[in-house]
Amino acid sequence: MNDVRRVLVIGGGVGGLAAATALAQRGADVLLIEKQATFDLPGVGLGQPANALRVYRNLDVLDEVLDGGFIYNTMDYFDKDRNLVVQHKFLLGDDSTPAVCALTRVRLHQILRDAAVSAGAEIRLNTTATEMNDSPDGVHVVFSDGGSDTFDVVVGFDGIRSSTRSHIFGEAFVPRPTGYGAWRVQHPRPDYVKSMEFLQGIGSKTGAMPLDDDLLYLFHIRPEDPDVWIEHDTLVDNLRQRLEGYGSYVAEARDGLTAQSNVVFSPLEVLLIPGPWHSGRIVLGGDAAHVVPPHLTQGAGLAVEDAVVLAQELRGEGTVEEKLNRYAERRYARAAFVLTFARQMLDDEQSARSPQAYERVLRDTALYGSQRIAVSDRILNTPVIHERALV
Ligand SMILES: Cc1cc2nc3c(=O)[nH]c(=O)nc-3n(C[C@H](O)[C@H](O)[C@H](O)COP(=O)(O)OP(=O)(O)OC[C@H]3O[C@@H](n4cnc5c(N)ncnc54)[C@H](O)[C@@H]3O)c2cc1C
């Protein structure tokens, strides 16, 4: 990797693990640090559309991802009682890449962690960077265990609350609340749920994503006051109340919630840092640089695309400054498109605040829902990484 030999990746989420793998596969000497003692939250899943699956092929883990997940090729819109409004057949993928594969986050982390280690990356859990001193020759980093080292480049994939972003930009770019929140819980998969689906409600939207033959994850999105903290021991009761008014398996899931149900709540926030995404030799990727609403299931997809584009650019010609500039130039338009499009979907569905508005949203979805997603599919299906394995 020419003048970029030793790289520190901060953050062991989907993006950081993909970056560590891509960089190590291209010959870099990679250390990844993760502040948690174990990898990631149980209880939630990730839809990975074809553009993300192409990244997994590039990282040589596509077969494991497909084996570990549930493949689907439609997005189905229903009313609140699960009467079909419109079915959209994705225009994503190609002969060798399915439209979407969804899997548990824990499973995806296992696959990527194994890939990073096999490629030669070193992973240190329970570790953060407490000091970073950037100079023209390298970044000197002091770790929370007291050790220190110098790196050619530091890559911050440390998520929505990124301290690497604060180190570079202070508070200039921080995630902003949308005023909506997402509730998630896993539930046994009824046979008839075979794709990602949305059930439009009045004042909220619910949906499901199959994760394997036996499991789906249910999500529920509605207005939530960003200034109100929801206590962990009230999550189940809160979700139960919020699912009132829905029929079909959503009603069954609501009735089946118990104190042991692993309900996850996340306020929905958005962020897009204008390029460049670096200062000196420290660069951002994934949610540290852009946070999008979940509607296109693209947040982690963008993060893994960032990872491979960054690894490709760091291997390319020019100075570190030129390489990092090219990286953000290749990524900004994609992230901006996903943010804008997903935000519009969120606003449209959440405009169904009254019975009349609900009927309007259902009519609009029946007429235009599939046509709109088709536009997004065509854009997202345009390759952004060089497909040849180690380019
Ligand atoms: C409701 C909801 C549903 C979603 N559904 C999907 C979906 O279906 N498909 C999809 O592609 N995306 C989805 N997303 C988005 C996706 O979860 C994120 O975009 C993705 O996880 C970002 O990956 P990342 O690696 O950048 O950050 P993260 O996954 O957040 O990982 C960051 C890692 O950095 C670690 N870390 C943080 N600070 C430090 C530090 N100082 N030092 C060391 N380590 C640190 C964290 O512990 C974490 O492990 C969804 C998001 C939400 C809110």
Give the containing element (helix H, strand E) for 227: none
| Backbone torsions φ then ψ of 262, nearest 5 degrees | -90, 80
Spell out the domains of the chain, with CATH numbers in brackets.
6-175+269-380 (3.50.50.60), 178-266 (3.30.9.30)
Tokens (6 digits) for 330: 């290749």
Q: Is the pLDDT of residue 389 over 90?
A: no
Residue to substitute in 33, 41, 130, 157 for testing ligand 1 pocket (most ligand atoms within 8 angstroms of CB) = 157
**In this structure, are strands 278-279 and 282-284 parallel, antiparallel, or unpaired?**
antiparallel
R_g of the chain, CA atoms, integer Å: 21
Give the containing element (helix H, strand E) for 196: strand 196-200
Helix 14-25 crosses helix 105-118 at what angle (to 10 degrees)?
Answer: 20
Convert the pLDDT of each residue in 366-388 to its tens digit.
999 999 999 999 999 998 876 65
Chain center to CA of 296 = 10
Residue to substitute in 104, 166, 220, 287 for testing ligand 1 pocket (most ligand atoms within 8 angstroms of CB) = 287
Ligand 1 centre and the CA of 14: distance in Å? 7
- The CA angle 337-339-341, to the nearest 5 degrees, is 65
Whose alpha carbon is nearest atom 35 of ligand 1? 11
Convert the pLDDT of each residue in 166-222 to its tens digit.
999 999 999 999 999 999 999 999 999 999 999 999 999 999 999 999 999 999 999
Which atom of ligand 1 is found nearest the CA of 39? 49
d(Cα 19, Cα 116) in Å, to the nearest integer? 8
* Contact criterion met (CB below 8 Å) for 302 and 53: no
Give the containing element (helix H, strand E) for 104: strand 100-104
pLDDT of residue 43: 59
Percent helix, strand and coil across the chain, each to the nearest 5: 40, 30, 35
Whose alpha carbon is nearest atom 1 of ligand 1? 182
DSSP state of 213: S
Ligand 1: list residues with CB < 6 Å.
Answer: 10-16, 33-36, 46-47, 128, 157-159, 163, 182, 184, 266, 286-287, 294, 297-301, 303
DSSP state of 179: E
Convert the pLDDT of each residue in 61-93 to its tens digit.
999 999 999 999 999 999 999 999 999 999 999
